[in-house]
Amino acid sequence: MSDAKTYPPSDDMIANAHVNADAYEKMYQASLDDPDGFWAEQGKRVDWIKPFTQVKDVDFTLGNVKINWYADGQLNVSANCTDRHLETRGDQTAIIWEPDNPDDDTKHITYTQLHAETCKMANVLRSLGVGKGDRVVIYLPMIPEAAYAMLACARIGAIHSIVFAGFSPDALGARVNGCNAKVVITSDGAPRGGRVTNLKDNVNQALLNDFDEVKCLVVKHTDQQVAWRGDLDFWLHEELDKVSDDCPPETMDAEDPLFILYTSGSTGQPKGVVHTTGGYLVYAAMTHEITFDYHDGDIYWCTADVGWVTGHSYIVYGPLANGATTLMFEGVPTYPDASRFWQVCEKHKVTQFYTAPTAIRALMGQGKDFVTKCDLSSIKVLGTVGEPINPEAWNWYNEVVGGGTCPIVDTWWQTETGGHLMTPLPGAHAMKPGSAMKPFFGIQPVILEPTTAEVITENPAEGVLCIADSWPGQMRTVWGDHERFEKTYFADYPGYYFTGDGAKRDADADYWITGRVDDVINVSGHRMGTAEVESALVAHPKVAESAVVGYPHEIKGQGIYSYVTLMGGEEPSEELRKELEAWVRAEIGPIAKPDLIQWAPGLPKTRSGKIMRRILRKIAENDYGALGDTSTLADPSVVDDLIKNRMNR
């Protein structure tokens, strides 16, 4: 037994949950013994236009990687999220929309309305020339139109690529270019925490020079003035007036792409993760129902943004496929004050609440009165995602928000995995603060020794985390670059999907994610490649070289620590520091702004010129007693200078 304190589910939870401990064991074993039989059964969760006869067709061998699920089946995702609910729950609320400003009106959108809005938006997209297989970029605030736009694309077989509204025009332009999008859907403005960003301006900047074929469909949301790009721009409300609400869903193959979502990796620029139609939907729907123990009548709220995978799977596709009521929140946790999350929970009687550890830590710092003045008795299950949760934050979440009675599902997964891969289940597992606990059905985690790639079978174990076999929600490829897909995920540990994370398995065979083992950092639950920030910094004319690493940050989990070497003749100054911060914001977006910039006359390099990032990480972590061997450095003295001028003392 491990010595971690455990929190078993209540008798009530065990009695009412979809899956209790016995059922978990039986189902998990069945999912390994007979994957085809198990997933054929789960495939019935969605409606098929043409039923599948094949289930799994997978090869993880480098050079030959293929991942197919339900390959000969045909279906439409938007029909699964709207049409099929009309008869039984047409008048039920599908989406509750809560605006940034609490004084503005909440919206309740029924399944009947959601269906009509989706069909109309789909017809508008068709009228702009979008057809099956075409790409549409969505760059919207958290408004219902974001969900309509996703479902509208799915309805006509177009592939959406959502770009988080916090990304800069440059980052947006790169993503429009990356998938050769025909249309960008945006809004005039995007309010967040009382401040409005002019999204249409960002789109104009992104598209102005190189994209004179890309049309832009604009939602009127904030009523502010926007600049028009002649006849390439269209107001959504004007176009909606011209179309009918009848739009038969396109018949899609299970393996037709549903969406592309760019995410950061170890090297280079972000890559377009591709998810397909059938397997993704089955997996999103199943994990949504079972992980959150969703029952009819529940009010489910995931606080993520649709710009990230969590918003795709657990605000839109999973919940809507299940006919759930899903809450969509436009604002931020601290506006107008630190009570906002809890006021929204009280107002809508939220039953499942799913957020990120960074939000919990930020709110924890504001004191518990903001929470306790609200009635949170409706909440049954709490969830977290995005980064490891520290025990202090877990305990606060459990006691102050959950009143000590709500299971916390600590869901570990990735953009690449489409849905949860490891999590405790509310009625099945005695939770341990900070542990992602157990694999979901069909998931076979393995821990490997990092250098020898040997599988560690005994417990406890620690090493790199791989997955031994496929599951229906797994990404299929990198958009336009299958070789990069294979190299990134299947080359380092042959025969396995390599997650990029490290993990421990304790004496009870429970899993603990220890964080990324590559050059990806996790800032406020947002994933970022250090290489991206470095390339933004070196694009500045005064910067000669830069190296970026993560360091522990109390609220954000990790902060961005940048070492910058200036061009000869340039002098460090406060002004230049500010200029570089603003520069990175403009190149990528506010989430990439360096927290600390250290002027580095030299960087620690091997004699062959490779930067030794391990050393830079240790210095940033304030752990330079453990620098290890520096004798292979071309110039060991640079390390002394870096230590002397460390930023976060």
> Which of 505, 423, 512 minimizes the C-alpha distance to 456?
505
Type of residue found at 583: W
Quick one: which of 117, 256, 298, 410 contacts ligand WTA (CB under 6 A)? 410
Site for ligand WTA contains 412 (CB under 6 A): yes
Of 150 and 304, CB closest to ligand WTA: 304
Contact range with ligand WTA by CB under 6 A, out of 187-195, 241-249, 468-476, 510-518: 510-518
Quick one: which of 119, 138, 206, 385 contacts ligand WTA (CB under 6 A)? 385
Quick one: which of 146, 285, 513, 615 contacts ligand WTA (CB under 6 A)? 513
Of 254 and 309, CB closest to ligand WTA: 309
Task: Give the number of other Cβ atoms within 10 Å of residue 575's Cβ.
Answer: 8
Quick one: which of 168, 202, 415, 598 contacts ligand WTA (CB under 6 A)? 415
Contact range with ligand WTA by CB under 6 A, out of 1-9, 79-87, 406-414, 538-546: 406-414
Type of residue found at 426: P
Restricted to residues 309-338, the positions that interact with ligand WTA (CB under 6 A) are 309-310
User: Counting beta carbons within 10 angstroms of the beta carbon of residue 11, is it exposed (0 to 12), middle (13 to 18) or buried (19 or more)?
Assistant: exposed
Distances from the Cα of 538 to the Cα of 531, 533, 552, 567, 595, angstroms: 10, 9, 24, 10, 17
Of 331 and 433, CB closest to ligand WTA: 433
Q: Which two tokens stand for residue 430?
A: 């005695």
Distance CA 159, CA 156 (A): 9
**SS3 label, residue 646:** coil
Of 2 and 414, CB closest to ligand WTA: 414
Concatenate the DSSP letters of all residues of 239-251 into one string.
Answer: HHTTS-S--PPPP
Of 339 and 411, CB closest to ligand WTA: 411
Distance CA 39, CA 69 (A): 9
Closest residue to ligand WTA: CB criterion: 415
- Residue 316, annotated as binding a ligand: no
Site for ligand WTA contains 519 (CB under 6 A): no
Quick one: which of 263, 358, 524, 530 contacts ligand WTA (CB under 6 A)? 263
> Which of 266, 314, 284 minimizes the C-alpha distance to 474?
284
Site for ligand WTA contains 472 (CB under 6 A): no
Residue indicated by tokens 């903001």? 370
Of 145 and 501, CB closest to ligand WTA: 501
- Residue 92, annotated as binding a ligand: no
Q: Which two tokens stand for residue 192?
A: 């967040």
Task: Give the number of other Cβ atoms within 10 Å of residue 542's Cβ.
Answer: 15
CB of 228 to ligand WTA, least distance (A): 35
> Which of 524, 586, 562, 522 minimizes the C-alpha distance to 171?
586
Q: How many helices (H) and strands (E) does the chain have?
A: 22, 30
Q: Which two tokens stand for residue 467?
A: 């997955």
**SS3 label, residue 47:** coil
**SS3 label, residue 618:** helix
CB of 501 to ligand WTA, least distance (A): 5
Contact range with ligand WTA by CB under 6 A, out of 208-216, 222-230, 400-408, 409-417: 409-417
Quick one: which of 92, 251, 366, 414 contacts ligand WTA (CB under 6 A)? 414
- Pick out the residues of the known binding site for CoA: 192-195, 310, 524, 585
Give the residue numbers of the binding site for ATP.
Answer: 386-388, 410-415, 501, 516, 527
Which residues would be at the binding site for ligand WTA (CB under 6 A)? 263, 308-310, 385-388, 410-415, 436, 499-501, 513, 515-516, 522, 527
